[in-house]
Structure 1
């Protein structure tokens, strides 16, 4: 049980996919507005959990026993693409107050979703740890997305020199957030 909690905590804070592994930075820069940020964060967290869990099961129960582990990417990529539309329909039906329209391209282009499956396939810690890592990665992405949106709103209202407005200050902010999260490195070894 402790390993599962450490895996969840580590994926969310210490080994954050967006800041430590630069995966999923495109949706971070594209999402605007508090409601869209939370819709994208929830959809990404659910998708990472589903792809990480199903990807681990496909790898451990189908590809590894048949010695076809070289086909992992060809199994996980269609899995992640095929789960996006049903997930968005389900979330839109369950939470009609959040705008899930137009999130399909952001979820499709999120390299963090495929990164979760690849990192789960690299470690042999069991289905529980794979699910905890996937959920932690999704929650970490959502948290960074919320923090980055708040930071973007704060920099929008401040007097920033003209060459740094827009994307340059956003990338500098993402780098500073990565340095802040780097301070947590070494706290938990997984």
Structure 2
């Protein structure tokens, strides 16, 4: 249980997919409305959990025994693309207050979903660790997305010099957030 909690905490905060590994930066910069941020965060967290877990099982039960490990990327990408629609429909039915329509392109272009599956196959510490890494990666993405949206709202009304408005200040803000999250690295000693 301790390993599960440490992996979950580490994937969400310390080795964050957006800030530590630059995966999933495009949806971070593309979302605007607060409700859309939470809808995208929840959809990404659910999709990372499902694709990460099923990708690990697919790799260990089908691809590795059949010596087809060269097809991993194709299988995981197909799994990710095929699950986006059903996950969005299920979440829209479950939480009708959140705007899940229009998230298809943001989820399709999110490299963090595929990155979690690749990290699960690289570490290969078991199904529990794969689930913890997938869930932690999704929750960490949602956290960074929410914090970045709050930071964007705060900088929107400030007096920022003209050359730094828009994307430049967003990238500077993301870099400063990455440095802040890097300070959490000393919390967990392995």
TM-score range normalised by the length of the shorter chain: over 0.9
Distance (whole Å) between structure 2 residues aligned to residue 115 and residue 186 of structure 1: 24
What is residue 42 of structure 2 aligned with on the other side? 42
Residue 9, structure 1, aligned to residue 9, structure 2: yes
How far off is 1:186 after superposition?
A: 4.2
How far off is 1:131 after superposition?
A: 0.5
Residue 54, structure 1, aligned to residue 49, structure 2: no
What is residue 101 of structure 1 aligned with on the other side? 101
5+ residue gaps, structure 1, are: none
Distance (whole Å) between structure 1 residues aligned to residue 103 and residue 138 of structure 2: 15
Tell me the TM-score normalised to structure 1 length: 0.98
5+ residue gaps, structure 2, are: none
Q: CA RMSD in A?
A: 0.9
How far off is 1:187 after superposition?
A: 3.1
Tell me the TM-score normalised to structure 2 length: 0.98
What is residue 149 of structure 1 aligned with on the other side? 149
What is residue 161 of structure 1 aligned with on the other side? 161
Distance (whole Å) between structure 1 residues aligned to residue 50 and residue 189 of structure 2: 25
Distance (whole Å) between structure 2 residues aligned to residue 187 and residue 74 of structure 1: 37
Residue 182, structure 1, aligned to residue 182, structure 2: yes
Deviation digits for residues 74-103 of structure 1 (CA, Å, limit 9, x no counterpart):
110000000000000000011000000100
SS state of the match for residue 185, structure 1?
Answer: helix
How far off is 1:65 after superposition?
A: 1.2
What is residue 170 of structure 1 aligned with on the other side? 170
Matches within 5 A, 1:109-148: 109-148=109-148
SS state of the match for residue 129, structure 1?
Answer: helix
Number of residue pairs the alignment of both structures matches: 190
